[in-house]
Amino acid sequence: MRILRFLRSSVSVGKNIDYYSKFSPSPLSMKQFLDFGSENACEKTSFTFLRHELPVRLANIMKEINLLPDNLLRTPSVRLVQGWYMQSLQEILEFKEKNAGDDKVTYDFTEAVIRIRNRHNDVIPTMAQGVVEYKETHGTDPVVSQNVQYFLDRFYMSRISIRMLLNQHTLLFGVNVKVNPAHPKQIGSIDPNCCVSDVIRDAYENARNLCDRYYMNSPELILEEFNVQPVTVVYVPSHLYHMVFELFKNAMRATMELYGDAMEYPPIHAQVALGTEDLTVKVSDRGGGVPLRKIDRLFTYTYSTAPRPSSDGARAAPLLFTVQVEELLAVHTLGCEFGGVLVHVHAHQPVTDLLVGPLRDGPVLPLILFPWSCWFIIQSLQRTQKDNIKVHILPTR
């Protein structure tokens, strides 16, 4: 009987995936999030929207998971992730025909959303472990690696958008939600007056604590703002935090390893500049940079200069070296030399971008750009006496 129920359930899930994957996810702007959360936040409206939107987003990415190479799909970690998504889809679909006007229904839905959010907390390291398991068993194939790279970019971007929806609903309508003292005026996860320098300092302090624990020392931070008033933006503080945290973490590793047991270490520089159309956060260090021949590998998931992390979660180098976006201390098995892939993916939302430029005899320069009306590119990187790097940023259409 159990086998029969399982088979019926699998067939039903497959049909639902086929049905909902035919729809495209509804694009949502920051303004829409703010307007809904600040003016007319209604749990019933959110419930009605999410019980359709979440299955659409889950089904679309599950379709792509099913297209992965069979040998990768068979790894225990990828099967575990696939199971999480199937279970979450089933739980949301239980509310498909329920009455939005029933308070108990909306309460149960919010509780289900919280369970789903918590269930997916470890998706990033688990999927990364699946790729490692595949490589260990079947080696590296250039074609497969390219396909996996394309999939993981889309998979992690999908995860960010889904978690944004889950977090907004739970933070607005959850029963035990506490106000974040650092951002008391947040609307869900969005701060209408996010102080960029405060987030940068917070990210630096946490990265510094990790560096102190492993190296018993850490470089100082020099933070510069090129505007009269502190820069505030409408943004998700946790998103900015995680991007900058990864940059600091990798800058510290490079600095500490290059200068070894020196008495003093060159500081890390962070610069914030608000232009007429963009906000730029620049992070630079004296950690030796990345060889030009390796620059193309920075944003590949299978490249890392970090030691292989231990699977038992013990205190080890991966705390400092590896890349993770959503989980502060997750043991993550894939990374890159300068912190890049997941930071890169995390930054590639409608309002942000992460760019990297190499110098033949100088450091790699990471920039987080927040364009408001157009996209930006780095036209050139040239040496200057002041800070070793000059950056020209031009708008493109």
Asked if residue 308 belongs to a domain, the reply is: yes
For residues 288-297, average pLDDT: 81
Handedness of CA 163, 169, 170, 172 (dihedral sign): positive
- Predicted local distance difference test score (pLDDT) of residue 14: 86
CATH of the domain at 261: 3.30.565.10
Element (H or E) spanning 33, and its range? helix 30-38
Is the residue at 385 inside a domain?
Answer: yes
What pLDDT is recorded for position 13? 84
Cα distance between the two ends of the chain: 60
Predicted pLDDT at 347 = 52
Beta bridge partners of 368: 281, 354
Q: Average pLDDT over the chain, rounded to whole?
A: 78
* Tokens linked to 36: 């809904």
Helix (H) or strand (E) holding 70: helix 70-73
User: How does DSSP assign 248-300, residue by residue?
Assistant: HHHHHHHHHHHHTT-SS-PPEEEEEEE-SSEEEEEEE--S----GGGGGGTT-
> Are 364 and 228 in a shared domain?
yes
Q: And the tokens for 58?
A: 């889950």
32 and 74 co-located in one domain? yes
Q: Is 59 within a domain?
A: yes
Q: What is the C-alpha separation between 178 and 332, in angstroms, rounded?
A: 29
Are residue 328 and residue 358 in the same domain, yes or no? Answer: yes
For residue 221, the 8-state DSSP code is E
Q: Is 249 a catalytic residue?
A: yes
Question: 325 with 246: CB under 8 angstroms?
Answer: yes
Tell me, what CATH number does 154's domain have?
1.20.140.20
Say which residue, 40 or 394, is predicted with more confidence: 40
On whether both 64 and 122 belong to a single domain, the answer is yes
Contact (Cβ atoms closer than 8 angstroms) between residue 269 and residue 387? yes
354 is a domain residue: yes
Instruction: From 104, 139, 173, give the residue that closes a domain.
Output: 173
The residues, any chain, with a CB within 8 Å of residue 283's CB and separated by 6 or more, are 244, 247, 248, 251, 268, 269, 270, 366, 367, 368
Q: Which of the listed residues 173, 207, 237 is the one where a domain comes to its end? A: 173
**Cα–Cα distance, 338 to 89 (Å, whole number):** 35
Bigger pLDDT: 376 vs 357: 357
- Mean pLDDT value of segment 105-113: 96
Q: Catalytic one among 133, 246, 326, 337?
A: 246
Same domain as 123, residue 67: yes
Average pLDDT over residues 129-135: 90
Is residue 334 very low, low, confident or very high in pLDDT (cuts 50, 70, 90)?
Answer: very low
Full-model pTM = 0.77
Q: What is the total count of domains within the chain?
A: 2
From the number of C-beta atoms within 10 Å of its C-beta (0-12, 13-18, 19+), residue 287 rates as buried
Residue with tokens 């912190």: 339
**Of residues 288, 346, 201, the one with CA closest to residue 209:** 201
Burial class of residue 294, CB neighbours in 10 A (0-12, 13-18, 19+): middle
With contact defined as beta carbons under 8 Å apart, do 285 and 363 qualify?
A: yes
Domain assignment present for 41: yes
CA–CA gap between residue 132 and residue 8 (Å, rounded): 33
Give the end of a domain, one of 142, 173, 204: 173
Q: Which residue among 135, 249, 269, 282 is the active-site one? A: 249
246 is a catalytic site residue:
yes
Q: Is there a single domain that holds both residue 195 and residue 57? A: no
Q: Are residues 136 and 254 in the same domain?
A: no
Average of per-residue pLDDT across 75-79: 96
Residues 221 and 362 reside in one and the same domain:
yes
In a domain, 185, yes or no: no
Are residues 141 and 217 located together in one domain of the fold? no
Q: Looking at the structure, do residues 85 and 229 belong to the same domain, yes or no?
A: no
Q: Which of 90-94, 318-322, 332-336, 365-369 has the highest mean pLDDT?
A: 90-94
Residue 141 domain boundaries: 2-173
Q: Any idea which of 109-118, 143-152, 173-182, 346-355 has the lowest mean pLDDT?
A: 346-355
Catalytic residue among 120, 239, 242, 332: 242
State the amino acid at position 380 in one-letter form.
Answer: S
For 305, the token pair is 């200069």
- On whether residue 178 sits in a domain, the answer given is no
Q: Is 369 left (phi over 0), alpha (psi -120 to 50) or beta?
A: beta
The span from the CA of 100 to the CA of 105, in Å, is 7
Model confidence at 276, pLDDT cuts 50, 70, 90, reads confident
Q: With beta carbons less than 8 A apart as the criterion, state whether 185 and 193 touch.
A: yes
Cβ-contact 189, 30 below 8 angstroms:
no
User: Which residue in this structure is represented by tokens 């019980």?
Assistant: 51
Same domain, yes or no, for 285 and 349? Answer: yes
Based on the fold, state whether residues 151 and 198 are members of the same structural domain: no
Residue type (1 letter), 229? Q
Domain-located, residue 182: no
Active site annotation includes 250: yes
- For 32, the token pair is 């829409």
